[in-house]
Amino acid sequence: MAQPQPQPQTQIDGNTLVAKTLIRAGVTHMFGVVGIPVTSLATRSVSLGIRFIAFHNEQSAGYAASAYGYLTGKPGILLTVSGPGCVHGLAGLSNAAANGWPTVLISGSSDQSYSGRGDFQELDQVSVVKPFSKFSAKPGKISEIPGRVFDVLSRAGSGRPGGTYLDLPTDVLHQTISESDAEELIKSAEESLYSEEARVPDVAALEKAVAAIRAAERPLLVVGKGAAYARAEAEVKKLVELTGIPFLPTPMGKGLLPDNHELAATAARSLAIGKCDVAVVVGARLNWLLHFGEPPKWNKDVKFILIDICEEEIELRKPYLGLIGDAKKVLGMINEVIKDDPFCLGRDNPWVKSISSKVKDNVGKMELGLGKEVVPFNFMTPMKIIRDAILGVGSPAPVLVSEGANTMDVGRAVLPQMEPRTRLDAGTWGTMGVGLGYCIAAAVACPERLVVAVEGDSGFGFSAMEVETLVRYQLPVVIIVFNNGGVYGGDRRTPEEITGPHKGDPAPTSFVHEAKYHVMMEAFGGKGYLVKTPAELKSALDESFSARKPAVINVILDPYAGSESGRLEHKN
């Protein structure tokens, strides 16, 4: 009797193996721009269950991937083509590195056998990404794919989160392997997953921190987006309740506790940082956003207690005390120490009273300005209307995306954050162009929330074409464009500056007057609104918020309403 012949095993190529490995690693979403040689990778990923959000531009897709990593705590995935696609993707990777958000850039690359011979879009991409990547990997053959995929994903989120890079040569994507061998490779890679031992402070360091807080006459808690990323809101709330310490959030730390909390010091920022004698800084860096922790903005004798996941960051700043570890865990340990010997400043404490008094005074002055309806619009009048509309949504609160010099600066003061991780803005790098990418990431990562972007017309212009992406995926995003006709506004030149052979050209800061940005959204089937009065803005917000469909509200401002960006005027 003839022996049965073994059945040939099903073969899969490198594209499918990458997709299968991503699925096994828990990846559910991918952002990018397809083309040679990664179109098949995107298609196979979708067929296996990954949602692929296709963009017009790798920069916006990269910003989306980085924000997705921040909002979910899982690495955001950016897929690009080779050469220029990878270079464009560096915008997202560098943004991830600067902000400490887990992101993986995956780029196709040229055939290894043609290296150095001028293959299509040939580039040494591993070298190119090096300044912005914590770790890079390049499988030289198909069997190396699973291990490399798991490596870049795990390292993106280890220690201080950041960007990693996976290079996929064309020839490796075309190689094949049996499904059974592929499964064994994935299983082996999963079992040997890279991990970094989590560090926590010792008891003596914790007790020293608590003793410093207890002895302080004017303590201050500063919470940054690192604390938000760590999901430390419950621990922050507990520390504030146990100690009665005033707190100051950085822009994306807003919402860890509600902005209207009685101990919020945002509206008394100058007083808080200028007079505090002990500052507990959690998940925030003493960089330009916090005036480097130096006088004259800060008290020259202030003692900094830095809580950071990154040892190098603490060593760089040389604080009074550094506590290395995850913000959520370290704050939890501090709370346990305090709980055994509780203390609380109380509302009658002179420091708390001075902060509260200054907050009340400054908020009162701001409300006076907000109470005046100015037409043609300044920045304050529409901001108040937008604030009231956002507060009217309730919980879950919308995710607020903000970019643009004046628009973002005014919005930080006026627009409220009541829940954690509901604000996305230019961040540590002050990056313009993040708006639409962030909106798409927020809509995908937080499908239960409305997404509202408040953008200057310059910031909007960086990524405006992605309104088509909003419509294509029917994402609940409302874009509000503050249109004052340029960067900071229209033509700000003095007569003496309008000289030379090109004096008839528009100013470097000016755009087309009252540009019809809302029509751009209508061109793709979304809803557009042109707004020039308070009544028109209120109606547009009410309708668009209720519809939860892609919309652009084009708010026409006085072109002279803006000014050069707040604290940075001296740099221009």
What is d(CA 220, CA 222) in angstroms, rounded to the nearest whole number? 6
Query: Residue 563, class by beta-carbon neighbours within 10 Å (0-12 exposed, 13-18 middle, 19+ buried)?
Result: middle
Share of the chain above pLDDT 70, in %: 97
pLDDT recorded at residue 340: 85
Residue 489 has pLDDT above 90, yes or no: no
Q: Give the mean model confidence (pLDDT) for residues 210-216.
A: 97
Among 107-121, 146-160, 263-277, 282-296, name the one with the lowest average pLDDT.
107-121
Count other Cβ atoms within 10 Å, centred on residue 376.
Answer: 14
Quickly tell me which residue has 């053959």 as its tokens: 141
Could you tell me where the DSSP H helices lie in 453-533?
457-463, 467-473, 517-523
Contact 221, 280 (CB under 8 A): yes
What is d(CA 308, CA 303) in angstroms, rounded to the nearest whole number? 16
Report pLDDT digits (tens) over 371-406: 999 999 999 999 999 999 999 999 999 999 999 989
Instruction: Pull the structure tokens for residue 227.
Output: 């604390």
Residue 63 has pLDDT above 60, yes or no: yes
- 488 DSSP assignment: S
Q: How confident is the model at residue 165 (pLDDT cuts 50, 70, 90)?
A: very high
CA separation, residue 399 to residues 223, 252, 391, 408 (Å) = 19, 11, 12, 14
Could you tell me where the DSSP H helices lie in 100-202?
125-129, 145-157, 170-174, 179-191
Residue 103 has pLDDT above 60, yes or no: yes
pLDDT recorded at residue 2: 61
For the chain, give the number of residues.
Answer: 572
Q: Pick the closest to residue 415 from 266, 298, 304, 269 (CA basis).
A: 266
Residue 80 has pLDDT above 70, yes or no: yes
Q: Give the mean model confidence (pLDDT) for residues 353-369.
A: 96
Among 20-29, 246-255, 473-482, 485-494, name the one with the lowest average pLDDT.
485-494
Q: Pick the closest to residue 480 from 533, 539, 554, 411 (CA basis).
A: 554
Count other Cβ atoms within 10 Å, centred on residue 9.
Answer: 12
Q: Give the mean model confidence (pLDDT) for residues 195-215.
A: 93
Quickly tell me which residue has 């989590």 as its tokens: 198
Report pLDDT digits (tens) over 517-569: 999 999 999 999 999 999 999 999 999 999 999 999 999 999 988 766 545 55
Instruction: Read off the pTM.
Output: 0.95
pLDDT recorded at residue 304: 98
pLDDT recorded at residue 119: 85
pLDDT recorded at residue 129: 98
Q: What share of the chain is helix, strand, coil (3-state, %, to 5)?
A: 45, 15, 35
- Phi, psi at 113, each rounded to 5°: -70, -15
Instruction: Pull the structure tokens for residue 201.
Output: 């402070």
Q: Give the mean model confidence (pLDDT) for residues 161-189.
A: 97
| The 451-456 sheet, strands edge to edge | 423-424, 399-403, 451-456, 477-483, 551-556, 527-531
Contact 426, 399 (CB under 8 A): no
Q: Give the mean model confidence (pLDDT) for residues 141-163.
A: 97
Q: How confident is the model at residue 197 (pLDDT cuts 50, 70, 90)?
A: confident
Cβ-proximal residues to 8 (8 Å cutoff; 6+ apart), any chain: none
pLDDT recorded at residue 572: 53
Report pLDDT digits (tens) over 267-325: 999 999 999 999 999 999 999 999 999 999 999 999 999 999 999 999 998 999 999 99
Q: Give the mean model confidence (pLDDT) for residues 50-68.
A: 98
Q: Pick the closest to residue 464 from 34, 57, 96, 31 (CA basis).
A: 57
423-424 and 477-483 beta bridge pairing: unpaired
What is d(CA 399, CA 418) in angstroms, rounded to the nearest whole number? 10
pLDDT recorded at residue 1: 56
Concatenating the DSSP letter of every residue in 243-260 gives H---EEE-GGGTTSS-TT
176-178 and 11-13 beta bridge pairing: antiparallel
Count other Cβ atoms within 10 Å, centred on residue 293.
Answer: 20
What is d(CA 49, CA 39) in angstroms, rounded to the nearest whole number? 16
> How open is the CA angle 186-189-194, to the nearest 5 degrees?
150
**Across all residues in the chain, what is the average pLDDT?**
95
pLDDT recorded at residue 3: 65
Q: Give the mean model confidence (pLDDT) for residues 461-477.
A: 98
Q: How confident is the model at residue 229 (pLDDT cuts 50, 70, 90)?
A: very high
Q: How confident is the model at residue 488 (pLDDT cuts 50, 70, 90)?
A: confident
Q: How confident is the model at residue 113 (pLDDT cuts 50, 70, 90)?
A: confident
Residue 321: its H or E element: strand 321-324
pLDDT recorded at residue 194: 81
What is d(CA 426, CA 251) in angstroms, rounded to the nearest whole number? 9
Share of the chain above pLDDT 90, in %: 89
Q: How confident is the model at residue 144 (pLDDT cuts 50, 70, 90)?
A: very high
Q: Give the mean model confidence (pLDDT) for residues 452-456.
A: 97
Residue 4 has pLDDT above 70, yes or no: no
pLDDT recorded at residue 388: 97
Contact 74, 451 (CB under 8 A): no
3-state secondary structure 393-456: HCCCCCEEEEECHHHHHHHHHHCCCCCCCCEECCCCCCCCCCHHHHHHHHHHHCCCCCEEEEEE
- 340 DSSP assignment: H
Instruction: Pull the structure tokens for residue 160.
Output: 């201080």
pLDDT recorded at residue 292: 96
